[in-house]
Amino acid sequence: MSSNEIKVALIQQAAAEDSAINLDRLEQSIRAAAASGAKLVVLQELHNTPYFCQQEETANFDLAETIPGPSTERFGRIASENSCVIVTSLFEKRATGLYHNTAVVIESDGSIAGRYRKMHIPDDPGFYEKFYFTPGDLGFMPIDTSVGRLGILVCWDQWYPEAARAMALAGAEVLIYPTAIGWDSRDDEAEQQRQLDAWITVQRGHAVANGLPVIACNRVGLENDPGGQTAGIDFWGNSFICGAQGELLAHADEEAGILGATVSLGRSEEVRRIWPFLRDRRIDAYEDLLKRYIE
């Protein structure tokens, strides 16, 4: 395996009510992935707890933690003991009354390599994230690690080509999306399939448009709505890893487990030579992209 190829593992997990159980399961899975050779392990969005954003409840702010904090300390120890880089997803307490949905990258020596605060915050039935999270203020900046420059984006960010392109322009070597997305039980089977296909297609499109591999890690399982307003969210899993032309390297189903693949970061050079999209961008004609809408 050449120096620009890395073994990647995704941990696709169903959430228990007890965060201690979730953390123990994650640790076991990370250790298993590392034992199989993974040097980069990606976890799903807000992996420590059930997806609490199904309701607006002030008591849920107790779930937030500082960075550095208990989770970064524990995952730092795991990363160091297993010589792997870990992409975590945490509910960050930045200050009293100020919270973020934050991905934290742990270097293989256990240190914090960097963080990304989710930029696009949804507010839909069952996904009341604007109640909890302040939009990110760190911009779209890749995080340098021993396995490469990681372009971390989070869930709702995955629908925005601007976010992926900004990461690519800043030098990201791979795009990574910790995610929590699933079906509304009121949607029929055809609509559910359309949504799943759209989710996979748009992210593979980011790979193609930017000549970068993409890693998407989603949670699985039905999580009930604590407020009883809906039938809950059936998280659809389907985590996947694709190459710089959007080709699928590994694709999970709807079951919990570890998904692995070898990803070539150096192949972007070859792809961008035959598809020079960055060369042919008309940056002189894109000023309207800074407008909300063109009247």
Active site (annotated) includes residue 53: no
- Structural domain boundaries in the chain: 5-290
- Closest by CA position to 63, among listed 47, 43, 83, 82: 47
- Active-site hit among 53, 118, 129, 217: 118
3-state SS of the chain is CCCCEEEEEEEECECCCCHHHHHHHHHHHHHHHHHCCCCEEEECCCCCCCCHHHCCCHHHHHHCECCCCHHHHHHHHHHHHHCCEEEEEEEEEEECCEEEEEEEEECCCCCEEEEEECCCCCEECCEEHHHCCCCCCCCCCCEEECCEEEEECCHHHHHCHHHHHHHHHCCCCEEEEEECCEEECCCCHHHHHHHHHHHHHHHHHHHHHHCCCEEEEECEEEECCCCCCCCCEEEECCCEEECCCCCEEEECCCCCEEEEEEEECCHHHHHHHHCCCCCCCCHHHCHHHHCCCCC
Catalytic residue among 39, 45, 107, 223: 45
Annotated catalytic residue within 53, 155, 217, 242 = 155
Q: Can the peptide bond before residue 68 be classed as cis, meaning omega within 30 degrees of 0?
A: yes
Q: Is 93 assigned a catalytic role?
A: no
Q: Examine the residue annotation and report whether 155 is marked as an active-site residue of this protein.
A: yes
Select 5-290's CATH number: 3.60.110.10, 3.40.50.1370, 3.40.1520.20, 3.30.565.10: 3.60.110.10
Task: Find where tokens 């890395």 sit.
Answer: 6
Q: Give the pLDDT confidence score for residue 2 in this predicted structure.
A: 42
Q: Determine the pLDDT at residue 185.
A: 82
User: Tell me, what's the pLDDT at 261?
Assistant: 98
Tokens of 263: 């990803």
Q: How much is the pTM? A: 0.97
pLDDT per position in the chain (295 positions), as tens? Answer: 345 899 999 999 999 999 999 999 999 999 999 999 999 999 999 999 999 999 999 999 999 999 999 999 999 999 999 999 999 999 999 999 999 999 999 999 999 999 999 999 999 989 999 999 999 999 999 999 999 999 999 999 999 999 999 999 999 999 999 999 999 888 999 999 999 999 999 999 999 999 999 999 999 999 999 988 888 999 999 999 999 999 999 999 999 999 999 999 999 999 999 999 999 999 999 999 999 999 8
Closest CA to 239 of 210, 259, 224: 259
**pLDDT number for residue 3:** 56
Does residue 168 contact residue 212 with C-beta atoms inside 8 Å? yes
Q: Output the pLDDT for position 1.
A: 36
